[in-house]
A and B are shown apart, each in its own frame.
Chain A
Amino acid sequence: MFITHKNCPMVRGRLWHRAIIGAIVCLGLGTPALSAAQGLTALNDPPDLPSVSLHGFGTLGLTRSNDDNAEFVRDLSQPNGAGTRWTPKVDSLVGLQANVHFSHSTEAVVQVVSRYHADSSYRPELTWAFVRHDFSPDFSLRAGRLGTEFYMLGDSRLVGYSNLSLRPPPDFYGSLVFSYIDGLDVTLTRPVASGLLKAKLFAGRSPEKTPYAPGLTWDLSGSTLVGGYLDYQHGPWQLRASHAQVQFHHEMPVNALTGQPYLSAVPAMAMAGQSVRFNSLGLVYDQGPLNVQLMLNQIKHDGLAYADSKAGYVMAAYRLGAITPYLGVSRSSSDVEQLPVIGDVFIDKVLTPSLVAQSVSDQHTYTVGARWDFQKNLAVKAQVDRINGTPSSVFLLKGTESGGWDGKMTVFSLALDFVF
């Protein structure tokens, strides 16, 4: 079922590099040749096939908060974030994408994104590199490196221009560190009762890593991800139920964090081999100028190291000409089950509780903002978020280790989103 690195040569790093260089060379040299050839093709042919098109998206963002006792991050893939000084690193990013159309039903897509992420740099990542084939209007398959859709809108959360709010609500999307997989997905679409029913299944392995603690990253590569959704769209309504699960391959660097062979003493806290399940429901009402989104999720860990959690948000926007104001409220809360006990006072009373406490969230956030489509393919957004949480609510933030975090923070953000 899974495409492994061994039996799929397309997933090998070097070949990918060659593919990108090839794509860039094609784009640089091929485009004039293709347009010159256009005159020679039969008049009946729609745009020259195969054809290559280059697209891009990006955000120039600035973010600051009113609190230096925690750093605000967009999601947990960022090792640090914004304090009381304006910083571009929370939301700024740029993505380049090449689409190669072999026919109306077959397309290859390569996407590279540079954003502030796990290794504290903007080092570009190969986010997509897949081939899509539509066997029919009802059935399509993609294979290669693909975006994951754990939640509705999850695979476009970096494309600011396509989203209403400045960033996807961190209470809901912030804990999602999986952006892409090496694998495949299939989508089936059927008209049902004057609406459309869509089913999708995906499976693959993660090539990613995520920050674990200051200076430490957790290698997620090799973790298996499987999931899918059922989606029904009828007129302005869209309803989706999704499920995804991840089985971790590598152990989190908890021994390095504690400076002792902690996992030998408390094997119940191990994550390698353990699974986590993500269930979610999404409902969108999109009618003319009005857009309302409601999302709910539930994350359940088999392992004891992370607390289970629930999150949700409601966001409503109303377009008034070129300006679209929006309002939202989101919530994230966790549920710590019983902790493993081994009979060592320091480990049982201090170490284990403090490790699990890193995954606790108990906060809600009020969001108000506006999007201004001042020019084609350009939008400016301004947004204020008020986080109201308990002092124990540290999971979705960074830099709370120094103490002093009271759970409350106001975040100010500006962004210029563009596509080309």
Chain B
Amino acid sequence: MKVLLSTLFLVLSGLGSTARAEPVVVVSAASSLRQLSQDEVVNIFLGRYRRLPNGDTALPIDQPESSPVRADFYRRLVNKDLNEINAYWSRLIFSGRTSPPLQASSAADVMVWLLGQPGGVAYVDRTQVDKRLRIVMEFAR
């Protein structure tokens, strides 16, 4: 039974990983920010606290809703699905507390905003990282 279960687990996780993106948290390479802890990223993207370690105000940017990296990012960050993230933001929006991350309508928008805004923080699939970006947080593998 144990062997069967672990085989099943391996098969399922194998299936999962082929379809999955690998999100990493990035800032502009021109930023003075070097690193963020996962707690800091949670605070920034869930609107709890948006001061960056370098003193700037963080400006988080979400990938488009249809982007698979968005679901993977929140899954890895807080183990929540997008419905739960939606419900979380509806609480904050309708109690007028804080604003959700900027909603980009395309991956290109994410890049434009990220490079153009001091404090811009986004997540992208690792394969999308180029020399304009700096990785400031990676999830443990």
Chain A residues close to B by CB (< 8 Å): 43-47, 55, 57, 95, 97, 99, 101, 104-105, 107, 109, 111, 128, 130, 132, 136-138, 142, 146-147, 153, 155-156, 158-159, 161-163, 189, 191, 194, 196, 233, 235, 287-289, 319, 322, 373, 376-377, 379, 419
Whole-angstrom distance between the Cβ of A317 and the nearest chain B Cβ = 11
Please measure, in the bound complex, the distance between the C-alpha atom of A196 and the C-alpha atom of B46, giving whole angstroms.
13
By a CB distance below 8 angstroms, the chain B residues around A137 are 49-51, 57-58
Whether B48 pairs with A132 at a CB distance below 8 angstroms is: no
Please measure, in the bound complex, the distance between the C-alpha atom of A99 and the C-alpha atom of B65, giving whole angstroms.
21
Q: Which residue of A lies closest to B56 (CB)?
A: A137
Whether B91 pairs with A156 at a CB distance below 8 angstroms is: yes
B112 within 8 A of A: yes
Whether A107 pairs with B51 at a CB distance below 8 angstroms is: no
Whether A196 pairs with B49 at a CB distance below 8 angstroms is: yes
Please measure, in the bound complex, the distance between the C-alpha atom of A101 and the C-alpha atom of B117, giving whole angstroms.
17
Residue of B39, B82, B91, B103 near A162 (CB, 8 A) is B91
The answer to whether A155 and B102 touch (CB under 8 A), given A319-B84, A322-B83, A373-B83, is no
By a CB distance below 8 angstroms, the chain B residues around A97 are 93-94
Whole-angstrom distance between the Cβ of B67 and the nearest chain A Cβ = 14
Q: Which residue of A lies closest to B37 (CB)?
A: A194
B88 within 8 A of A: yes
Residue of B51, B95, B117 near A46 (CB, 8 A) is B117
Q: Which residue of B lies closest to A110 (CB)?
A: B96
Residue of B43, B48, B90, B95 near A419 (CB, 8 A) is B90
Residue of A45, A95, A104 near B94 (CB, 8 A) is A95
A46-B102, A99-B93, A142-B96 are known contacts; what are 9 more A-B pairs with Cβ within 8 Å?
A: A44-B117, A55-B94, A95-B94, A99-B99, A163-B91, A191-B43, A194-B39, A287-B79, A419-B90
Residue of A136, A147, A161 near B95 (CB, 8 A) is A147
Whole-angstrom distance between the Cβ of B42 and the nearest chain A Cβ = 9
By a CB distance below 8 angstroms, the chain B residues around A130 are 96
Q: Pick the 7 closest A-B CB pairs, nearest first.
A: A44-B116, A288-B79, A162-B91, A137-B51, A373-B83, A155-B95, A109-B96
By a CB distance below 8 angstroms, the chain A residues around B83 are 322, 373, 376, 379
Residue of B58, B80, B96, B112 near A132 (CB, 8 A) is B96
Whether A136 pairs with B93 at a CB distance below 8 angstroms is: no
B87 within 8 A of A: yes
Please measure, in the bound complex, the distance between the C-alpha atom of A235 and the C-alpha atom of B48, giving whole angstroms.
12
Whole-angstrom distance between the Cβ of B109 and the nearest chain A Cβ = 9
Whether B86 pairs with A377 at a CB distance below 8 angstroms is: yes
Can you list 11 pairs linking A and B with CB atoms under 8 Å apart?
A46-B59, A46-B117, A128-B96, A137-B57, A156-B91, A159-B90, A159-B94, A191-B43, A196-B48, A289-B79, A379-B83
Please measure, in the bound complex, the distance between the C-alpha atom of A137 and the C-alpha atom of B115, giving whole angstroms.
21
Please measure, in the bound complex, the distance between the C-alpha atom of A162 and the C-alpha atom of B116, giving whole angstroms.
33
Whether B49 pairs with A111 at a CB distance below 8 angstroms is: no
Whole-angstrom distance between the Cβ of B39 and the nearest chain A Cβ = 6
Please measure, in the bound complex, the distance between the C-alpha atom of A111 and the C-alpha atom of B94, giving whole angstroms.
8
The residues in B between 33 and 71 inclusive whose CB is less than 8 angstroms from any CB of A are: 39, 43, 48-51, 57-59, 61, 65
Residue of B49, B94, B99 near A156 (CB, 8 A) is B94
Please measure, in the bound complex, the distance between the C-alpha atom of A111 and the C-alpha atom of B39, giving whole angstroms.
32
Over the window 95-118 of chain B, the binary record of Cβ atoms lying under 8 Å from chain A Cβ atoms (1 yes, 0 no) is 110010011000000001101110
By a CB distance below 8 angstroms, the chain B residues around A189 are 48-49
Residue of A43, A155, A159, A319 near B112 (CB, 8 A) is A43
Whether A44 pairs with B51 at a CB distance below 8 angstroms is: no
By a CB distance below 8 angstroms, the chain A residues around B112 are 43-44
Whole-angstrom distance between the Cβ of A183 and the nearest chain B Cβ = 14
Whether B59 pairs with A147 at a CB distance below 8 angstroms is: no
Please measure, in the bound complex, the distance between the C-alpha atom of A44 and the C-alpha atom of B114, giving whole angstroms.
9
Please measure, in the bound complex, the distance between the C-alpha atom of A191 and the C-alpha atom of B86, giving whole angstroms.
25
Please measure, in the bound complex, the distance between the C-alpha atom of A194 and the C-alpha atom of B48, giving whole angstroms.
13
Whole-angstrom distance between the Cβ of A143 and the nearest chain B Cβ = 12
The answer to whether A233 and B95 touch (CB under 8 A), given A44-B117, A161-B90, A319-B84, is no
The answer to whether A196 and B43 touch (CB under 8 A), given A46-B116, A130-B96, A191-B49, is yes
By a CB distance below 8 angstroms, the chain A residues around B103 are 47
Please measure, in the bound complex, the distance between the C-alpha atom of A376 and the C-alpha atom of B71, giving whole angstroms.
13
Whole-angstrom distance between the Cβ of B61 and the nearest chain A Cβ = 8
By a CB distance below 8 angstroms, the chain A residues around B51 are 136-138
By a CB distance below 8 angstroms, the chain A residues around B93 are 55, 97, 99
By a CB distance below 8 angstroms, the chain B residues around A289 are 79
By a CB distance below 8 angstroms, the chain B residues around A233 are 48
Whole-angstrom distance between the Cβ of A323 and the nearest chain B Cβ = 11
By a CB distance below 8 angstroms, the chain B residues around A132 are 96
By a CB distance below 8 angstroms, the chain A residues around B113 are 46
Whether B116 pairs with A43 at a CB distance below 8 angstroms is: yes
